[in-house]
Amino acid sequence: MPILTHLDDKNRPQMVDVSAKTETNRAAIASGEIAMSREAFDAIVNARVKKGPVLQTAIIAAIMGAKKTSEIIPMCHPINLTNVSCDVEEFADRAAFRLVVTAKTRGATGVEMEALSGAAIGLLTIYDMVKAIDKTMTIGEIRLEKKDGGKSGLFERKA
């Protein structure tokens, strides 16, 4: 059974000590999707949402979400992000968007949580901005796609 590193020998929560770990270049890519009604999708694509430019705002929110990860996930280390980027894919056939967030650092701990947080916050921002049109939107498939760096090396999701 794997050892839970966020618990000490007395079963108390702890932040993992990464001070002895080697600093390496680290990167992570996470993604997630939001599906919605055709009306909501068309409003976003045609810039008819009263709250403003939805996808541009979602990208900014994704970057901010990645930067704030250690403030909202209790055991995450505050890290020096060297880059956060977000791409948006449109799926007109099923009225959905996919956000893909890439986070990078050079440090002693990975950036998976930052990429995942960025994806989640970006998607939640889309929901917030469009909920007046469609409260039935669904957010899902938030997942780590790839990570590289550190002792565990490369992970890539298989299709």
Is 148 in the active site?
no
Q: How many CB atoms lie within 10 A of CB 31?
A: 23
SS (H, E, C) the chain: CCCCCCECCCCCECCCCCCCCCCEEEEEEEEEEEECCHHHHHHHHCCCCCCCCHHHHHHHHHHHHHHCHHHHCCCCCCCCEEEEEEEEEEEHHHCEEEEEEEEEEEECCCCHHHHHHHHHHHHHHHHHHHCCCCCCCEEEEEEEEEEECCCCCCEECCC
Point out the catalytic residue in the list 17, 128, 134, 148. Answer: 128
**Active-site residue list:** 128
